[in-house]
Structure 1
């Protein structure tokens, strides 16, 4: 009996050994596709590897058969302190002719060559007050790679897929010539959404990528499957041009209606936002980072929504967040979902908490928030990426510290990589002075390298420049985007049963005067009258309201750019946001009118003649064609409001900044979170 058991045990052990050996052998035999320009190839046992450090030997970090942990440790052991510190800076990078980073610069032709110009922005662009050092800087590309050892970049240029792909390959080829051949990772702000405020740092605006609703519109769809499909599509487009990291998305909650960044959120509800963020992360990254992933940077921890008076912490007058409703934990829900989904990075906001239970320093300096809460309690193991410029631009709560002391405090709090500058000299000085130990620096480098190894950049950072234009914005992708654009529109009122518009008779279509009112400050006339390019089956679009059976009026209010803030009280009434209310009310009284309002903020609409405004639609970044399909009934409205809209300016002033509109006092909302009708 004992011998039988012994034989059985030996057989199980032998089987396990054979299985393990076959698994290892299978792994060894899986030769990845290697992308290279100048590096020599090493052949070992019939397999190929890149000799990135040019020493003629196969180093562990070059050996794709080994675990990422082994490769990371080997590479860190070979990096100089200067190379490590350069690795902890993420800097704006530019193409030749790209002036997107420069305020009021002349726009020229963008090419795939390098921009070798060093650039320093004025030091009072955001804060309106001088600070000890310049705020934002960008190094000439070759200097940044070879002298500053930068390997993390933010691309803000808006150009063709072909040019972006060619430039990305040029960048990686330059990195390959460096001492250790470490590839770069290029990040971007959102590129796929229809948005009103496309300021640098918020969104790239209208691009060659597939077009989808704004983030609020994505939430209004209430379609998690389509949200995942969006992220998977966008990931294919981004990867095709060499963008492998997203400076997005915002897990912040739109609980303070005056906050100017509401447009970039998924609304006010923590559960909906959590679901959206989960699908976004899984769609862009997959269940784990791989060679087809785009790594996500979820922001702005622990939630940038509850700003005092809605002022933004890019500015001295908006430096504080507060929690008058005691709902700090509520704002953590979307970040918990992002962590569970595996988000690669998390970005803290500039704000300092105006709360006696927390240290009154910006969240990038706040050890209790980053280390104790985010790392230890919530279990986040990824990269902590500072927002752009907390060191020398928005150092809220630590203004009296020197720059090296600010770096010391931020690193001690848990920050791994700093955005906003290009020259790592002062960060290097912080280490050389002994204010930060090399062991702590290695922790950050390990996290940053792990992302690169998992994305497969060490094996192949290059893209197919011929395939990129065929992938980006292709018709199949846009077909999905067009569906989303329609699903994002919300029908709020249809009291007169005016919608859907049908033909008057078989011989006569309904005559519609379609006017868009948008005062963007760039055109002499805010009124645009729709001129169709083809015949609609049930609607005839006319040139004047006098000819019309009905009026379609699309209002696009604008609170101005985030960065145009002057610290004045924020009002949400239409007349305060570039809408001529008298003109609107005259139209409403003249004919049965469909009022569509584009919501980038929870506008207060009580200046409208609400007695005669019986048909109301909400849009969140969509197209004319999508809106026409809704009013004609070609597509039935299905959208639901992603936030509540206050009934008056007084309700706005009395709101609790951390409390979602649907949990504010009774009578707060004119249109509630979740409102939405259909036909």
Structure 2
């Protein structure tokens, strides 16, 4: 229970006499029907929208995403599902904000509690369209890093820790896991996948879902929204379907069914919600419209073939044009661009969608019901699913969180230690050349670097490096150089596009030349943050050792480089030898780049 008096719910608003659906002795199905029968069309429509909400004052407009204040969304539009954008310094800050939001929801006519969701929040990503940097939470490698470790128990442990931290601050829906297969090396969204292999992705994705949802789904659970059905990896030219130039998903290798395999494991694990992708399939048996509008996929494949009866929420922004960070972003209505916003919404509902992600146009849905284009009965099918989820999560019984407990639990020391251990374990050593020893003994590999060596570093804080050796100011003075790089990507026209790293995987010539210049002076370790499978051959040719990380602090890397920790990482995808091989590969087929520089599963023990 809350620890301060202003967190208590207004007693008059919480009585079972006034609101019989609050009677915990009743079956949830009965409670759903009692509430459903009291709801107006407008109140039902409000449940069917799930948009971003920044952690700011509840009366402040959301200017970055061109949305009104939380107060208007909750009180005037009846919305009660929000994706938390941004963060705060402490768990207490987030918990207190959440409680204020729940009090606002409790003040409405029916007092329907808010369901707060989040993109991944435990890693290193700086992409606000796909993940949030860890902030006060424990920090772990990206999902690719969990795949590099290949340990189901570790993945479930991570998800259980994340579940505890999420629930402590009121986050009850994970907009993840992402079980797409990373079969197109250029695609921008690989960082949050489990890599290229369908079997590994299925096993680890199921463990992830078990950890978040718990042994039985209930008040201590976080519902998982598994994405992006039916698999978002096979993008034409690797472009991302957030943007019109990336709208097509293609299957020249005929592997549409392979991309369903990880979702089958997710259904077996009991995932509660599913998000279809933006892309539109081209050249398959399915309609050539975006998956969020695709009845043959959502109803025919997801609902009928797989029997999925959970919540289906679209990816963000299918209906309305928007503006993000000052740049226009057209609705991602691929294949139905010619339709009006109202027609798009009706098409998605007819396809089988329950909820519209990134949208707040509740008036359009109300209008569709009033004109008879969407029946009340059809609307009720989705509202039942959404209400059932709130009841099963225990939100109607107690929507508030303990702010003191949140402060103690979020980022707890043992949680942070577990995350840091995973960062170290995931680091993958690709090469480790020998060098001549001055004492005349047999040649020794560059790794591990002896503690106390003279270190020249780039991309590493000198104060951190000083804990491992003597930091010097030039390669000529050093025993070893350690350079940290990021996988390359092409600059695009807008701020939002550049959060999605796409295009060529080749390092620019100036970066290759710089590595070569340093390596000619001193044995050099190159570490690459591999959010995509970069072309590393020019770096391998110069460096004494090459490692890749999947989100790791400098100390985690230096622990591995100096032998204080053992590297356990294995590649979760092939690393291609050239862009020519990438361009010749089929986007839907795993392990299809000819003669990869390093194959899936490669990793040296150091």
Q: Same fold (TM over 0.5)?
A: yes
**Deviation by residue 1:223-271 (Cα, 9 ceiling, x = unmatched):** 2111111111111111111111111221111110111111121111111
Residue 514 of structure 1, CA deviation: 2.3
Alignment-derived partner of residue 395 in structure 2: 457
Residue 529 of structure 1, CA deviation: 6.1
Partners of 1:183 and 1:137 in 2: CA distance: 24
2:436 maps to 1:493 = no
Residue 36 of structure 1, CA deviation: 4.7
Residue 58 of structure 1, CA deviation: 6.0
Aligned partner of 2:51 among 80, 91, 103? 91
Alignment-derived partner of residue 564 in structure 1: 497
2:259 maps to 1:331 = yes
Determine helix, strand or coil for the equivalent of 1:347.
strand
List aligned pairs for 1:185-224, cutoff 5 A. 185-195=115-125, 198-224=126-152
Alignment-derived partner of residue 20 in structure 1: none
Residue 361 of structure 1, CA deviation: 0.3
Gaps of 5+ in 2: 1-6, 321-330, 435-443
Q: Are the equivalent residues in 1 in contact too, given 2:188–2:502 (CA < 8 A)?
A: no
Partners of 1:553 and 1:407 in 2: CA distance: 50
Alignment-derived partner of residue 538 in structure 2: 607
Alignment-derived partner of residue 475 in structure 2: 545
Alignment-derived partner of residue 552 in structure 2: 622
2:3 maps to 1:39 = no
Aligned partner of 1:81 among 32, 38, 41? 41
Partners of 1:479 and 1:568 in 2: CA distance: 30
Alignment-derived partner of residue 457 in structure 2: 514
Q: Are the equivalent residues in 1 in contact too, given 2:505–2:579 (CA < 8 A)?
A: yes
2:76 maps to 1:167 = no
Q: Are the equivalent residues in 2 in contact too, given 1:116–1:143 (CA < 8 A)?
A: no
Partners of 1:636 and 1:95 in 2: CA distance: 39
Residue 464 of structure 1, CA deviation: 0.7
Partners of 1:243 and 1:596 in 2: CA distance: 34
Determine helix, strand or coil for the equivalent of 1:225.
helix
Q: Are the equivalent residues in 2 in contact too, given 1:215–1:265 (CA < 8 A)?
A: yes
Q: Are the equivalent residues in 2 in contact too, given 1:405–1:430 (CA < 8 A)?
A: no
Alignment-derived partner of residue 603 in structure 2: 676
**Residues 271 and 356 of structure 1, relative CA distance in 2, 3 Å threshold:** closer
**Residues 666 and 313 of structure 1, relative CA distance in 2, 3 Å threshold:** closer
Partners of 1:567 and 1:286 in 2: CA distance: 32
**Deviation by residue 1:476-528 (Cα, 9 ceiling, x = unmatched):** 11111111011110111123242433549xxxx43222222xxxxxxxxxxx5
Q: Are the equivalent residues in 2 in contact too, given 1:551–1:591 (CA < 8 A)?
A: yes
Partners of 1:139 and 1:587 in 2: CA distance: 52
Q: Are the equivalent residues in 2 in contact too, given 1:347–1:387 (CA < 8 A)?
A: yes
Partners of 1:166 and 1:532 in 2: CA distance: 34
**Residues 79 and 599 of structure 1, relative CA distance in 2, 3 Å threshold:** same
Partners of 1:255 and 1:95 in 2: CA distance: 36
List aligned pairs for 1:295-310, cutoff 5 A. 295-310=223-238
Alpha-carbon RMSD: 2.2
2:274 maps to 1:350 = no
Partners of 1:532 and 1:141 in 2: CA distance: 42
Aligned partner of 2:348 among 392, 405, 410? 410
**Worse-matched range after superposition: 586-595 or 299-308:** 586-595
Determine helix, strand or coil for the equivalent of 1:191.
coil
Partners of 2:201 and 2:173 in 1: CA distance: 21
Alignment-derived partner of residue 31 in structure 1: none
Q: When the two structures are superposed, what TM-score results if normalisation uses the length of structure 2?
A: 0.91
Residue 340 of structure 1, CA deviation: 1.2
List aligned pairs for 1:426-505, cutoff 5 A. 426-496=364-434, 497-501=444-448, 503=450
Residue 534 of structure 1, CA deviation: 5.5
2:303 maps to 1:340 = no
**Deviation by residue 1:150-198 (Cα, 9 ceiling, x = unmatched):** 1111110221322211111111111112111111101111110122xx2
Alignment-derived partner of residue 177 in structure 2: 249
Aligned partner of 1:145 among 43, 53, 74? 74
**Deviation by residue 1:50-108 (Cα, 9 ceiling, x = unmatched):** 426xxx4562x111111111111111111111100011011222343xxxxxxxxxxxx
Residue 280 of structure 1, CA deviation: 1.1
Partners of 2:529 and 2:335 in 1: CA distance: 37
Q: Which has the higher contact order (CA 8 A, sep 6+)?
A: 2
Determine helix, strand or coil for the equivalent of 1:513.
strand
Aligned partner of 1:530 among 462, 467, 478? 462
**Residues 204 and 567 of structure 1, relative CA distance in 2, 3 Å threshold:** closer
Partners of 2:565 and 2:171 in 1: CA distance: 34
Residue 138 of structure 1, CA deviation: 2.3
Q: Are the equivalent residues in 2 in contact too, given 1:321–1:354 (CA < 8 A)?
A: yes
2:527 maps to 1:596 = yes
Q: Are the equivalent residues in 2 in contact too, given 1:494–1:614 (CA < 8 A)?
A: yes
Determine helix, strand or coil for the equivalent of 1:93.
strand
Residue 219 of structure 1, CA deviation: 0.9
Q: Are the equivalent residues in 2 in contact too, given 1:288–1:342 (CA < 8 A)?
A: no
Q: Are the equivalent residues in 1 in contact too, given 2:582–2:593 (CA < 8 A)?
A: no
**Deviation by residue 1:382-403 (Cα, 9 ceiling, x = unmatched):** 1000011112211111112222
Residue 549 of structure 1, CA deviation: 1.6
Determine helix, strand or coil for the equivalent of 1:369.
helix
Alignment-derived partner of residue 28 in structure 1: none
Q: Are the equivalent residues in 2 in contact too, given 1:638–1:678 (CA < 8 A)?
A: yes
Gaps of 5+ in 1: 1-34, 42-49, 97-112, 122-135, 517-527
Residue 583 of structure 1, CA deviation: 0.8
Q: Are the equivalent residues in 2 in contact too, given 1:311–1:567 (CA < 8 A)?
A: no
List aligned pairs for 1:106-121, cutoff 5 A. 113-117=57-61, 119=63
Alignment-derived partner of residue 184 in structure 1: 114
Count of aligned positions = 577
Q: When the two structures are superposed, what TM-score results if normalisation uses the length of structure 1?
A: 0.81
**Residues 510 and 58 of structure 1, relative CA distance in 2, 3 Å threshold:** closer
**Worse-matched range after superposition: 138-147 or 176-185:** 138-147
Partners of 1:36 and 1:458 in 2: CA distance: 14
2:24 maps to 1:51 = no
Determine helix, strand or coil for the equivalent of 1:637.
coil
